[in-house]
Chains A and B, each alone.
Chain A
Amino acid sequence: MAGMTLSQKILSAHAGRKLAIGDTAVISVDYVLAHDTTTAWAIEPFHEIATKVFDPSKIFIFFDHAFPAPSTQFAEMHAKIRRFCSEQGIKMHFDGVCHQLMAEKFTYPNTFLLGADSHTPTGGAMGAMCCGFGSTDAAVAMATGKAWVKVPETIRINLEGKLPFGVYPKDVILGIARDLSSEGANYKVVEFGGSAIADFDVPSRLTLCNMCAEIGAKTGIVPADAQTRAYLESQGRYQPFEELRSDPDAHFEQVLTIDISKFEPTVSTPPDIDRGVPIAEVEGTPITQVFLGSCTNCRLEDLAVAYKIMKGKKVKEGVKFIVTPASRQVYEQALVNGFLMEFSKMGATIAPPGCGACLGRHMGVLGDDDVCISTSNRNFTGRMGSPKAKIYLASPAVAAASALEGKIADPRKYLK
């Protein structure tokens, strides 16, 4: 048997036997994640097969997709989920976007996270295997602590070089999505490596892994290292971990080497993620809304980049600039260091931590004539509201520069 990939090792450890690529296996899961919509759909399936969850301490229910409730219908759904959590002794989380909270508080390297949300791969930034599933799988995992999986192929992406001035991890992943296409990694794991990855801190890696969902991947993963340790220490929850790696003779379906020093600010044009273009091609496109938020890009580091560009300036008159910190921790840090006060003075609307406008439920829904530049991960038709609205995806830097000008703008001129 050839050497093993990182994800093959993690899955093997969770199956209790050595697995080959392509094997179907039943594995134990370390964490089950679901939120205020996917949990609602998991409750009935759960009751079909069980009365008590396998271990309430391993189940994480987040109220983030529509919190606080934007309608009576959602309030009823929330109530149903709260009853389920109370009956089962499961802790509820009201502190922001599920994927950000898992990274801040819970996920450790080499673990397996089953998440009833497509952006669960975000947590691959912690060196864990974090995969998105549906509500039936979440119900089964809540009942049994287990899931069936097929051991995936891996695409290894080696990042080399240094990020140019004004270019961020978001630009890298939008560029990768353009090159690989929105199904380029379908069913596969994207494992990041190369000399540049050591320079990417965990927040940057969260952005990279988050958008692996958009190229079809089962997950993105960055092997745990000194950056992972530093992040866990900053969160006050470091515990020693094994630095698992793919074996030198592991089988990769593809190995891609990408020189990140050649990247430019990149904007994904509607209506698909893989329609990324260099900013020059869309510069000057008028916009009506800027959304700085989501599990992709609204951590403190993202707010800092936006602040650097916008400091001392005002949001263009008539533009809705919505800032939605990813978590309570980010919100509180940005309150204490003054970012939120500064953004407010510039004319921003500050929304509470959560998914907010990203999925068109509330706090920034788009109308027919709206054109939005967003730091989130999906620009599908109708994603944020009206199917006639247009959504462009970009880095927080591009979003900030665009907020100042009321049109898609290159952030580099504000960074000099």
Chain B
Amino acid sequence: MRVWKFGNSINTDLITPGRYNITTDKRELAKVAFIEHRPEFAREVKKGDFIVAGRNFGCGSSRETAVTALLECGIAAIIAPSFARIFYRNAINNGLLLVTVDEAFIAGVEETHQLALRESGVVNLTTGASAPAGVSPMLLALQKHGGLLSFLKTHKIEELERVQQ
């Protein structure tokens, strides 16, 4: 497990740039993740890695490929102070774990650190720092079902109103 650290307002053009974003093949999309912004990312990323980022991660275009590519790369969770709206929704629907923590915790994380997600929140195993974590109840509920599409194979959409309880 390693940490990939990014700054504020990482937009979806940086995650899956428009010029490469022309395939519906998930494996091809995984290969273009951060292709210009961080060229080594797609080559070196491993299942279970974390992305730790600044505010407003995923802003910009509605392209769901940004979520698809990071899921396919095996990213275990994205940890940031805030996420952009459509990216957040796409992550909820696809079961990509997004975790909100305060900026002070993020500031203390370096790429060489080891992190762990616990019931109580996020822990930096290297420094000993920890912070409470926020996760959308809808995300947790849909993740249990394997995402929105899987949920809808066995449930009516109206049941989403109650699924978070």
Contacts and interface: CB of A to CB of B under 8 A. Distances in A.
A49 B19 CA distance: 30
Given A24-B164, A380-B60, A148 B90 contact: no
B149 A118 contact: no
A182 B86 CA distance: 14
A410 interface: no
Contacts of B65: 41
Contacts of A186: 56, 82, 84-85
B120 interface: no
Nearest to A42: B64
A136 B59 contact: no
A182 B59 CA distance: 8
A359 B17 CA distance: 9
Interface stretch (B45-53, B105-113, B121-129, B152-160): B152-160
Nearest to B150: A48
A44 B22 contact: no
Interface residues of B, number: 44
Contact of A48 (B56, B59, B64, B153): B153
Interface stretch (A84-92, A252-260, A311-319, A382-390): A382-390
B85 A187 contact: yes
A132 B157 contact: no
Interface string A202-235: 0000000000000011100000000000000000
B29 to A, nearest CB: 10
A382 B59 contact: no
Nearest to A377: B60
B18 A378 contact: no
A319 to B, nearest CB: 23
A38 B12 CA distance: 14
A182 B19 contact: no
B126 to A, nearest CB: 29
A140 B158 CA distance: 12
Contacts of B149: 45, 48-49, 136, 139-140
Given A37-B22, A134-B62, A380-B14, A24 B85 contact: no
A183 B82 contact: yes
Contacts of B36: 381-382, 387
Contact of B62 (A26, A71, A133, A187): A133
Contacts of A25: 161
Contacts of A71: 22
A186 B88 CA distance: 11
A148 B160 contact: yes
A372 interface: no
A26 B13 contact: no
A74 to B, nearest CB: 6
Nearest to B83: A186
Nearest to A150: B138
Given A183-B84, A186-B85, A382-B36, A40 B13 contact: no
- With a 10 A CB-CB cut-off, give which of B37, B60, B153 has the most chain A CB atoms: B60
A117 interface: yes
Contacts of A272: 9
Interface string A178-206: 00001100110000000000000000000
A154 B90 CA distance: 22
B93 A137 contact: yes
Nearest to B19: A360
A223 B40 CA distance: 48
Contacts of B37: 381, 387
Nearest to A188: B85
A26 to B, nearest CB: 5
A144 B14 contact: no
Interface of B: 9, 11, 13-14, 17-19, 21-24, 36-37, 55-56, 59-65, 67-68, 82, 84-86, 88-90, 93-94, 138, 147-149, 152-153, 157-158, 160-161, 164
Given A136-B147, A387-B37, 9 more contacts: A24-B161, A37-B22, A49-B149, A134-B67, A136-B149, A140-B157, A148-B157, A186-B84, A186-B85
Interface of A: 24-26, 37-38, 40-41, 43-45, 48-49, 66, 71, 73-74, 77, 116-118, 120, 132-137, 139-140, 143-144, 146, 148, 182-183, 186-187, 216-218, 272, 359-361, 378, 380-383, 385, 387
25 contacts: A37-B21, A38-B62, A43-B24, A45-B149, A49-B149, A73-B22, A73-B23, A132-B85, A134-B93, A136-B90, A136-B93, A136-B94, A136-B149, A137-B93, A146-B157, A146-B158, A148-B138, A183-B84, A216-B85, A272-B9, A360-B18, A378-B61, A380-B60, A381-B14, A382-B18
